[in-house]
Amino acid sequence: MSKKTISNLSWVLMIAVSFVWSCQDPILVGNDLLDDERLELKVSDNFDLSSQTIVGEKVTTYRPSVDTRTYLLGQLNDDLFGKVSAELYMKFNMLSSTKANYHLEQLLKFDSLVLVLGYDSLATYARSIAAQKIEVLELSESFAEKDTFYSDASFQFKPDPLAVFSTVIRPKDSVSVVNHVTRKVVRQAPQLRIKLSNDFGTKLINDENAAKNDTAFAELFKGIYIKSTPVSSDPFIYGFNLTDGALSTQNPVNKLIMYYNVASGDTTLRKTYEYLINTATINRYVHDRTGSKVEEFILNPAKGDSLTFLQGVGGVKTIVKFNDLKLNDSLLINKAELEVTVAQVSGQNGAYDPPLQLIASHKKSDGKLELIKDISQLINTGVNFSTVFGGKPVESNNVITYTINITNHIKSAVKDSSYASDLYLGILTESETARRAVLYGAGHSTYPMKLKITYTKNK
């Protein structure tokens, strides 16, 4: 599924909704609604459901031609979900239009090499600011931008770090920076600035071949590996906006900057050269659930009837099983909705906001997951599917619920006994979000998951 922004034009949505309802097979909504006197509208919600938590699959964090916005750094660690770390791999390019020319200078003096990354202010999770220890290591092996990479990617790196320091991450605060050339203080957008090793910067600026040749540059500097861990025990994940546009030469934030000075007579000229960040940036997610509550529920599926778990970044998913979908042939399903409620459990609510958008999948005949038709049909029309599907959190009286429209999914299951009806609840663009939730399970005494089917019956 493309991660690009979906159009939300109302007139397109009207066409899409019309398409969804009109292009359905004979069991779909609106069948035989020609004679109102022959029909009787009814609602049933006493279906037998069961639920459980499973380990999620690795997620795609870089795919060529897909423009991903958010890349995450940081770490969460608690008794509910265990520990998850978000790490980054990235590499750099010289400008195609302007090669480095510092090797031509006669009286050259290296000043510093600084990596600048623009924050994504919408990507913070668990805290709004937090002190972090940043470590940057130099890769000893390269990777190609033509390949697809997943959240379990791993590359070799050199033992001596290019940078190690602690700082307070403030993703929404602008920063003051001294312009190297003019020496004036300027305000810039929220950003993380990482000063890399002087030894490495000197080696780079003194390598004439790396300044003249892209291949030599890529061989000398294969890329970096970035880790960010809490200075104290505060859980915190934050992100950077690394869309293709945010990495282009037109953007003033994301880049690697070489600062240097050149003696010219009695004066010193201050100069810079800016390297581009390659679009092939990769997120690595490391999960350790040892001793956590979610591990207990994964190892004991029967516990899923009380609570289930959802987590982005390839964490965990919830399965909902429909155990009694046999309906009389004379019943015509008009709508089927699944309602799930966010659980009030210690350590979950407050800092850990629930996902903004749920999605639902089922297994194909080959065992792979695919989005249910209630989502895919709308996505194929290019509109915001959540308007019809639902799946957004709604709070009422301090209770948060998700309601999702699974009409086509249920109809397919009723019509075809071989259709895989088990529903896999996940999070939209989970490779870019660390959000999570604990949900009440299908057998919870107060807030059970509930399937509500509205149907008509021929008299």
| Residue burial 190-204, b: 16+ Cβ < 10 Å; e: rest | bbbebebbeebbeeb
Nearest to 275 by CA among 393, 100, 81: 100
Using alpha carbons, list the distances in angstroms from residue 386 to 77, 192, 382, 449.
31, 34, 12, 20
Confidence band (pLDDT; 50, 70, 90) for 327?
A: low
User: In angstroms, rounded to a whole number, what is the distance separating the alpha carbons of residues 401 and 19?
Assistant: 28
The pLDDT of residue 143 is: 97
Encode pLDDT of 195-245 as tens digits: 999 999 999 999 999 998 999 999 999 999 999 999 998 899 999 999 999
Mean pLDDT of the chain: 89
Helices (H), 191-292: 198-205, 208-212, 214-220
Adjacent-strand bridge partners of 241: 70
DSSP state letter for 343: -
- Under DSSP, is residue 293 helix (H, G, I), strand (E, B) or coil? helix
Q: Which two tokens stand for residue 96?
A: 């195609």
The pTM of this model reads 0.88
| Residue burial 253-292, b: 16+ Cβ < 10 Å; e: rest | bbbbebbbbbeeeeeeeebebbbbbebbbbbbbbbebeeb
Q: If you count DSSP H runs as helices and E runs as strands, how many of each does the chain have, helices first?
A: 8, 28
- Under DSSP, is residue 19 helix (H, G, I), strand (E, B) or coil? helix
Residue where the block lists tokens 């709004």: 128
- Under DSSP, is residue 66 helix (H, G, I), strand (E, B) or coil? coil
3-class SS string, 430-444: HHHCCCEEEEECCCC
Encode pLDDT of 45-61 as tens digits: 889 999 999 999 999 99
Integer distance in angstroms from the first to the last C-alpha of the chain? 43
Confidence band (pLDDT; 50, 70, 90) for 11?
A: very low
**Domain range summary for the chain, segments of one domain joined by +:** 10-59+290-458, 65-279
Answer yes or no: is pLDDT of 132 > 80: yes
Answer yes or no: is pLDDT of 9 > 70: no
Q: Which one-letter amino acid corresponds to residue 320?
A: V
What are the φ/ψ torsions at residue 101 (nearest 5 degrees)? Answer: -125, 10
Confidence band (pLDDT; 50, 70, 90) for 248?
A: confident
Given a contact cutoff of 8 angstroms between Cβ atoms, the answer to whether 205 and 192 are in contact is no
Given a contact cutoff of 8 angstroms between Cβ atoms, the answer to whether 338 and 375 are in contact is no
Q: Give the burial class of 24: count Cβ atoms within 10 A of its Cβ; 0-12 exposed, 13-18 middle, 19 or more buried.
A: middle
User: In angstroms, rounded to a whole number, what is the distance separating the alpha carbons of residues 41 and 58?
Assistant: 44
